[in-house]
Homo-oligomer: A and B are copies of this chain.
Amino acid sequence: MRTLDDSKRKAILKAGMDVIAEDGFHAAKIAKIAERACVATGSIYRYYPNKEAIIVVILEQLWGDLAREMRLLTPRADLSPVEKLDMTVDLVFDIFTGNTALALIFVNENHQFLSKGAGTLKHNYDEFLDLGEEIIREGVDHRIFNAHIDIKIFRHFIIGAFRHLLQQWTLDPESMPLNRVRQNLKFIIKNGILHHPTKK
């Protein structure tokens, strides 16, 4: 009895990621994905029930990986909330720095597929964000973070800022090195734009 080939499933996923990143989900053609993966168009349907399933798996993995890392990070008692916040930013930047295609998919497609699939995707995404919120709450409890800021709003604030900056980076990586973006992002979310003169 022949069996499905897992390396082929991966090849299709990778090809799907690249083509969807290049052309956008809607314009991404199954024929092109098949060609990139070196399989026939029909073969794709042995491994994934439809085009949507491909991107859903990509996003499920992304948020699954990030949620797993966050489960390790949040409970650490040896780190301050500020350190945890910085490390979360690093975590996310590190994932996308090495994978422009994944960055593009997050930037352009994430939202519209959040509610698609069995529910794993939304679950992973929410878990990641809830763990992030946990860090903020810890900081507020420690009087390190400002208690007057609405945590839910702050969380969306950061996601949105990050997403848009990542998008600008994919459009023109030269003029906006991801490292500078990272440093500025960390600084702004902590200190804002106002100049705080430090006493001599």
Contacts and interface: CB of A to CB of B under 8 A. Distances in A.
This chain: copies in complex: 2
A184 B91 CA distance: 26
A157 B145 contact: no
A61 interface: no
A31 interface: no
Interface stretch (A13-21, A64-72, A187-195): A187-195
B145 A187 contact: no
B181 A153 contact: yes
A167 interface: yes
Interface of A: 24, 26, 82, 85, 111-112, 136, 139, 143-150, 152-154, 156-165, 167-168, 175-176, 180-181, 184-185, 187-196
